[in-house]
A and B are shown apart, each in its own frame.
Chain A
């Protein structure tokens, strides 16, 4: 018989209208002693205001260095079933589309081999299996791969790429996020499973500048859909929005960051000076029936985002203003550039130095030179405002 824990603190979190994670743990605890001991340990954490997990050790499946995060309780005698409580990251399908049968297969595998608790999904995008023991790792991996699934990334490797819903269900997708996310994932399986980088490397694919996967905040390579030509305007639909009461002047025109829109209130007509349009998406977001991105579509490639650890947080910055990434040749060139950048970073980067931090340390100009990309004004918000310029070549006296 499993121990029955009194959990007065956690029980408080079963109350209230938002769905409760405590209910989920209790549900799993009916079938799993692991989840039951998790409940006991978590209640203790709530009493002590202190976590009780130890640092991960090196655990994994044969031949992989990533995908499993070792986790051990620091109270193994008290909560023996969570003495080993490793996490498994399972690479999600592009766009998080599933069939019910696929989900049931996943659930059955996890019922057999672990706590029955998951995250749908982890922040990076993987399905997360929370809690299993070392001796179950090979068996769960075998069952997963036989059913067509594989592990995601962890540690200093290429992390599991993720993408927005894209052309699957969004009219704003300016390239095929689902396909390109899948292509990159398949192309770099070795980099994903066998950590050989200075630190993690993340790809995120967003179909438009709304960036529903937060690529600009956290991906080493952010691929953000955009377009080159004019915003498509359906004049009749503009009139309909006006007739239905949308305040086009205040809510749309005045919010345009480029001030490139005009609105004729009498005729209920919008005009856009597209050469000044910054592709911010606001007007399109507000009037999706009337305005659409142009048809010459592609993506802006940005580099270097990360969270604060170690040297401070960074947003990605522009590397390639426009790339027709759906085009196979341009996609190949993109992959070549990625590999070139990774080579330079692997060669010169320090331990636990993300590529964004590496660029900060060596200088963007030097980085561009090393990877063979020409500097262009699109890469900066403004040129430098200090005179501390490094020159490698200058005339010595004898040159004169």
Chain B
């Protein structure tokens, strides 16, 4: 076909990462010997060849305008021969073989408002979701809560003064884009009211069998309402997970007065010392209080301070709680223990205290 349109390019995949590696990385690929944190937010990797690579890690808001990315690019040109990377927790890292550039990079990135830190026994950037900026199912905002929390704990980002690392994550609904359920501190947006049913449109925009099947507690049943095929919700069986809304827009669940955040603690993904574990419920509900969510930030600062004051070196939040027991956690943090803390979903009994291993005060 002589007049064929130009080939449309598809399925090429991402660029081969090799083309983006700094020369020192290429030369020492897989041959790094050790690393050390030389100052907060700066580490040096030393290769078996003796080559050194300095990394300067800076916090970022994750939500970036292209002008800010261009600023990062300019900085990389100026000091890093055009090389940089990002971390799994949204930090930006500048990579250089020149020790003398470290202080200059730090000065310029800090002048732009990006703190240097987030390494070792610190709080690094909060992994989070889109919230009201871009998500249809959010029970709270993400970026705003994160900004408010990081403003309060930034000293723990800039200095290594905690017993161990502390990973904070936020998800604005139970879908949890990101691994918040295994974080030292997880902030989780929750709904607390069953979905409203738009009977008029439901059958037009949703498949009723799929909708019924979407409910983990079988609370949604097909029903005819005013002659129209629709569903009914057994409200006492609803735990507001919003999975129905995800499969059917005619089941809106967001509600300004009933939505808010819950706080979970003690999870981890690393295998170091103890096995990876889920975060557990610390505070069942805090109402949304934009723009700064002061009750949330206050609770988180308190939890961090109590852990920092009581944990042994290298003890993550969950490891400390495991050692001293949950009664002590609730006592020291002053968080009231309520009915909601006791599991009543599947296999709930596994979380009950099934021994006499308790601490007592004389």
Q: Do A and B bind each other?
A: yes
Chain B nearest CB from A280 CB (Å) reads 5
* Interface 9-mer from B30-38, B302-310, B328-336: B30-38
When C-beta atoms are compared, the residue in chain B nearest to A41 turns out to be B132
Contacts of A131 in B (CB 8 A): 134
Check A19/B61 contact, CB under 8 A, given A257-B274, A352-B247: yes
Check A312/B270 contact, CB under 8 A, given A9-B290, A53-B135, A286-B314: no
**Is B132 within 8 A of A104, CB to CB?**
no
Check A289/B290 contact, CB under 8 A, given A214-B88, A217-B269, A251-B314: no
**Is B113 within 8 A of A309, CB to CB?**
no
Please tell me if A171 contacts chain B, counting CB pairs below 8 Å: yes
**Is B85 within 8 A of A19, CB to CB?**
no
When chains A and B are docked, how far (Å) is the Cα of A363 from the Cα of B109? 52
Contacts of B292 in A (CB 8 A): 12-13
**Is B66 within 8 A of A107, CB to CB?**
yes
When chains A and B are docked, how far (Å) is the Cα of A211 from the Cα of B274? 13
Interface size of B in residues (CB-CB distance below 8 Å): 117
Check A18/B11 contact, CB under 8 A, given A49-B288, A211-B270: no
Check A117/B64 contact, CB under 8 A, given A17-B151, A18-B59: yes
Find A13's partner among B12, B21, B291 (CB 8 Å cutoff).
Answer: B291
Contacts of B72 in A (CB 8 A): 100, 103
Contacts of A230 in B (CB 8 A): none
Please tell me if B83 contacts chain A, counting CB pairs below 8 Å: yes
Check A18/B147 contact, CB under 8 A, given A251-B314, A282-B272: yes
When chains A and B are docked, how far (Å) is the Cα of A98 from the Cα of B25? 13
Chain A nearest CB from B286 CB (Å) reads 13
Chain B nearest CB from A277 CB (Å) reads 12
Check A189/B175 contact, CB under 8 A, given A87-B134, A97-B21: no
Contacts of A217 in B (CB 8 A): 179, 181-182, 267, 269, 276
**Is B174 within 8 A of A117, CB to CB?**
no
**Is A182 within 8 A of B290, CB to CB?**
no
Please tell me if B55 contacts chain A, counting CB pairs below 8 Å: yes
When chains A and B are docked, how far (Å) is the Cα of A313 from the Cα of B25? 37
**Is A27 within 8 A of B34, CB to CB?**
no
When chains A and B are docked, how far (Å) is the Cα of A245 from the Cα of B84? 35
Check A280/B77 contact, CB under 8 A, given A28-B65, A107-B66, A171-B33: no
Q: How large is the interface on A (under 10, 10 to 19, 20 to 34, 35 or more residues)?
A: 35 or more
When chains A and B are docked, how far (Å) is the Cα of A280 from the Cα of B275? 8
**Is B64 within 8 A of A71, CB to CB?**
no
**Is B30 within 8 A of A173, CB to CB?**
yes
**Is B55 within 8 A of A169, CB to CB?**
yes
**Is A189 within 8 A of B13, CB to CB?**
yes
When chains A and B are docked, how far (Å) is the Cα of A178 from the Cα of B17? 8
Contacts of A80 in B (CB 8 A): none
When chains A and B are docked, how far (Å) is the Cα of A92 from the Cα of B14? 6
When chains A and B are docked, how far (Å) is the Cα of A63 from the Cα of B33? 46
Contacts of A91 in B (CB 8 A): 13-14
Please tell me if B249 contacts chain A, counting CB pairs below 8 Å: yes
Please tell me if B154 contacts chain A, counting CB pairs below 8 Å: yes
Please tell me if A170 contacts chain B, counting CB pairs below 8 Å: yes
Please tell me if B82 contacts chain A, counting CB pairs below 8 Å: yes
**Is B15 within 8 A of A52, CB to CB?**
no
**Is A21 within 8 A of B291, CB to CB?**
no
For chain A, residues 125 to 154, give those with C-beta under 8 angstroms from any C-beta of chain B: 125, 130-131, 142, 145-146, 148-150
For chain A, residues 12 to 26, give those with C-beta under 8 angstroms from any C-beta of chain B: 12-13, 15-25
**Is A93 within 8 A of B216, CB to CB?**
no
**Is B290 within 8 A of A18, CB to CB?**
no
**Is B88 within 8 A of A48, CB to CB?**
no
**Is A71 within 8 A of B136, CB to CB?**
yes
**Is B66 within 8 A of A145, CB to CB?**
no
**Is B63 within 8 A of A99, CB to CB?**
no
When chains A and B are docked, how far (Å) is the Cα of A209 from the Cα of B269? 9
Check A110/B63 contact, CB under 8 A, given A210-B270, A213-B88: no
Please tell me if B76 contacts chain A, counting CB pairs below 8 Å: yes
**Is B32 within 8 A of A99, CB to CB?**
no
Contacts of A211 in B (CB 8 A): 269-271, 276
When C-beta atoms are compared, the residue in chain A nearest to B270 turns out to be A210
**Is A350 within 8 A of B213, CB to CB?**
yes
Please tell me if A358 contacts chain B, counting CB pairs below 8 Å: no
Residue among A18, A63, A185, A213 having the largest count of chain B Cβ atoms under 10 Å? A18
When chains A and B are docked, how far (Å) is the Cα of A224 from the Cα of B82? 31
**Is A28 within 8 A of B66, CB to CB?**
yes
**Is A168 within 8 A of B65, CB to CB?**
no
Contacts of B171 in A (CB 8 A): 307
Footprint of B on A, CB under 8 Å?
9-10, 12-13, 15-25, 27-28, 35, 38, 42, 45-46, 48-56, 62-64, 71, 85, 87, 91-104, 106-107, 110-111, 116-125, 130-131, 142, 145-146, 148-150, 162, 164-165, 167-171, 173, 176, 178, 182, 185-186, 189-190, 193, 209-218, 224, 247, 250-251, 255-257, 278-282, 285-286, 288-289, 292, 307-313, 315, 350-352
20 interchain pairs, CB-CB under 8 A: A12-B292, A17-B115, A18-B115, A19-B60, A21-B62, A51-B132, A51-B135, A52-B132, A62-B8, A98-B83, A117-B65, A123-B178, A168-B25, A178-B17, A182-B17, A211-B270, A251-B313, A257-B273, A292-B33, A312-B345
A-B complex: 10 closest residue pairs judged by Cβ atoms: A123-B178, A16-B151, A307-B176, A167-B30, A209-B271, A100-B73, A18-B150, A217-B179, A94-B17, A145-B9
